[in-house]
Amino acid sequence: MSYNLLKGKRGIIFGALNEDSIAWKVAEKAYEEGAQLVLTNTSVAIRMGSLDKLAQKTGAKIVPADATKIEELERLYNEAMEYLGGKIDFILHSIGMSPNVRKKKPYDNINYEYFHQTLEISALSFHKLLQVAKQNDVINEWGSVVALTYIAAQRTLTGYNDMAEAKALLESIARSFGYIYGREKRVRINTISQSPTETTAGKAIKGMDSLLDFSERMSPLGNASAEDCANYCVTLFSDLTKKVTMQTLYHDGGFSNMGMSERAMHQYDKSFDNY
């Protein structure tokens, strides 16, 4: 069902790679809610993934950009404003990558060059897209910028590796930039802390299947799916949440406030069956 929550709004969606991507679902939902879109990803991801299909479905233009490169962000914003016919109302940052995770380097034997790349791609790209947008006055007043994060920024979860630091930095950027952009241009900036989700990036995390099962059992409402996340993003892009900014918003079925649940205890008890 559509509520026309984004009617007349122009948005840029970073990070849709394939149909599993959270950004993919967000683009579909935003389109259903009346938004006009530009989709962006790196040239390699566009070649490897299936972004064309999403662009056709949503009437969007694809503009390639590496979100760590200032010139590419400038070009992206110029082309997006030209295509959409004006300034931007919302942006989704749905970007994450850790070479240490990919190459299975454990946290206590980390490669520091990779660590820099993790922070650069997964967190500093957020600062860059905000700074370039602000300096070029790309976003309309009361516009909304959302980035996706994970609870490993606050709590230690085995296997998440240096992405934990990247997410902590990402959330901090949302607060620091949210203050400045809010004060000067009424632009709001938030992060959504999403449940584990089976996507290309998600599957790279060590022990993802167990993590999905664990957080499903621990969350009173169960894990939030990518579609659920897309719905939440739409509310944050809409005018219904104008005074929400600088927040880490937990979208995880209640996981973040749990210690132990009955369902998880039941599963854990099975390990004592032989005693």
Ligand X SMILES: NC(=O)c1ccc[n+]([C@@H]2O[C@H](COP(=O)([O-])OP(=O)(O)OC[C@H]3O[C@@H](n4cnc5c(N)ncnc54)[C@H](O)[C@@H]3O)[C@@H](O)[C@H]2O)c1
* Interface residue list for ligand X (CB under 6 A): 14-15, 17, 21-23, 41-42, 45, 66-68, 94-97, 121, 148-150, 194, 196-197, 199-202
User: What's the token pair of residue 233?
Assistant: 């993003």
SS (H, E, C) 95-107: CCCCHHHHCCCCH
Are β-strands 188-194 and 248-251 bridged in parallel, bridged antiparallel, or unpaired? parallel
The residue among 257 and 271 lying less far from ligand X, judged by its C-beta, is 257
User: Nearer Cβ to ligand X, position 199 or 238?
Assistant: 199
For ligand X, the closer of residues 35 and 54 by Cβ is: 54
- Tell me the CB-side half-sphere exposure of residue 250, using CA atoms within 13 A: 14
Quote the least distance from Cβ 66 to ligand X, whole Å: 5
Q: How far is the CB of 171 from ligand X (least distance, A)?
A: 11
Strands (E), the chain: 10-14, 36-40, 61-62, 88-93, 139-149, 188-194, 248-251
Tell me whether residue 123 or residue 187 sits nearer to ligand X (CB atom): 123
Closest C-alpha to 9, from 139, 135, 192 = 139
Q: Among residues 86 and 237, whose Cβ is nearest to ligand X?
A: 237
In angstroms, the CA 128 to CA 115 distance is 18
Q: Give kind and range of the element (H or E) at residue 200.
A: helix 200-203
What does residue 7 show for φ and ψ, rounded to 5 degrees? -60, 130
Given a contact cutoff of 8 angstroms between Cβ atoms, the answer to whether 94 and 125 are in contact is no
Q: Which of 24, 130, 120 is nearest to 77 (CA)?
A: 130
**Between 75 and 186, CB nearer to ligand X:** 75
CB of 176 to ligand X, least distance (A): 18
C-beta of 253: minimal distance to ligand X in Å? 13
Instruction: Please report where in the chains the tokens 């040239």 appear, as a residue.
Output: 43
Nearest approach, Cβ of residue 109 and ligand X (Å) = 22
Q: Cβ of residue 157: shortest distance to ligand X, in angstroms?
A: 11
